[in-house]
Amino acid sequence: MPCRQALPGRCQCAAMKGIILQFTRANDLMQLSDFDYHLPDELIAQHPPERRGASRLLHVNGMALADLTFADVLDYLQSEDVMVFNDTRVIKARLFGEKESGGKIEALIERVLDAHTALAHVRSSKSPKPGGRLLFAGRWQAEMVERVGELFKLRFLADDNLFDILEASGKLPLPPYIERSAEGDDDERYQTVYAREQGAVAAPTAGLHFTDEMLQRLTDKGVKLAWVTLHVGAGTFQPVRVDTIAEHKMHSEIYEIPPATVEAIAAARARGGRVLAVGTTSLRALESAAQSGELTAGRGETDIFITPGYRFRVVDRLLTNFHLPKSTLLMLVSAFAGVETIRHAYRHAVEQHYRFFSYGDAMLLEKQAD
């Protein structure tokens, strides 16, 4: 099947087979092309599995691979361990409307700033000007306040809380590689069962596999469940636009680490347990909060960019889905498990027809030795 260009980093050669991940350069000279691989279109999951948790799991421990079901992850955890989940909740961040001129407009809320104000990506034939009025869903007026880089600051003029406006009239922003509009089932399935803190525009997808029953089984086994919040932004889907990786600037996201999570991780360490991050977002929050060398509680903003050569301070194991070619998340997992290991694992996943990306299957990665 010919490769399409809709996905950032999609291979241009229809005859290309397997995985191409050529991690051959020094870290500061790594090129974007070093993180490319070929993925057949039919392996991109367009819908969630029929039943939540009915996914496959690839356990990756160096070059040793094991094909499992997702429920098997329980067999790889001990009572001394702690699992860290991202409890962010995806908001219905996509709004459609029109400008005063009558021109059509689409806004994707990137970050809610307060009860009436947000930063948004705006798509229209002509960008709205400061002071211009917009009407969304035929009922919600907003003013374009100012440009903030590539984003637009919008102030909604109704008394209603912005989260309520989005819930009433917004659409769920499915990732661009899901080639359909959001359906009723997505409102539930593109949300983790433990989502509670509103603010994300994309799901922490490794968490989509968990059911309430599985969380209870983990607790019954003695595994400690801990929480962080990182509100995933639309920038997670933005392509890397520079050839030399060191020149890339990450998008910024808000995170919060509760004191209870810091305490749970310290207690796990004291009893010889390991820290398993559920998803790259949990990992990024934890590693961002430990840049001083010690994990600290609190709220912050991070643009951490993890590439091969990074020294992990908190996380021992990572549960994650499969990631886009040429993406910063592919670079992150390569830093965590090892570049040759990821090359080997992704080749195997393609050959074994794993399902890729948000609604796809999962990997349990063991950290490479320091």
Q: How do the pLDDT tens digits run along the chain, 370 residues long?
A: 333 333 333 333 333 333 333 333 445 678 888 898 999 999 999 999 999 999 999 999 999 999 999 999 999 999 999 999 999 999 999 999 999 989 999 999 999 999 999 999 999 999 999 999 999 999 999 999 999 999 999 999 999 999 999 999 999 999 999 999 898 899 999 999 999 999 999 999 999 999 999 999 999 999 999 999 999 988 777 778 888 888 888 889 999 999 999 999 999 999 999 999 999 999 999 999 999 999 999 999 999 999 999 999 999 999 999 999 999 999 999 999 999 999 999 999 999 999 999 999 999 999 999 8
Residue type, 131: G
Query: Which structural domain, as residue segments, surrounds residue 108?
Result: 94-169
Q: Which residues contact 184 (CB under 8 A, 6 or more apart)?
A: none
301 and 164 share one domain: no
Token pair, residue 296, equals 């600290």
298 and 240 share one domain: yes
357 and 216 share one domain: yes
| Residue 20 falls inside a structural domain | no
| Residue 175 falls inside a structural domain | no
107 and 136 share one domain: yes
Question: Which three-class secondary structure string do you get for 173-203?
Answer: CCCCCCCCCCCCCHHHHCCCCCCCEEEECCC
Number of domains present in the structure of the chain: 2
| Residue 8 falls inside a structural domain | no
| Residue 11 falls inside a structural domain | no
Token pair, residue 271, equals 């009893």
240 and 341 share one domain: yes
| Residue 301 falls inside a structural domain | yes
| Residue 60 falls inside a structural domain | yes
Domain boundary among 122, 154, 169: 169
Beta bridge partners of 146: 153
According to DSSP, the β-strands at 275-278 and 82-86 are: parallel
Question: Which three-class secondary structure string do you get for 249-290?
Answer: CCCCEEEEECHHHHHHHHHHHHCCCCEEEECHHHHHHHHHCC
360 and 277 share one domain: yes
213 and 357 share one domain: yes
Phi, psi of 281, rounded to the nearest 5 degrees: -70, -40
Q: CATH number of the domain at 214, please.
A: 3.40.1780.10
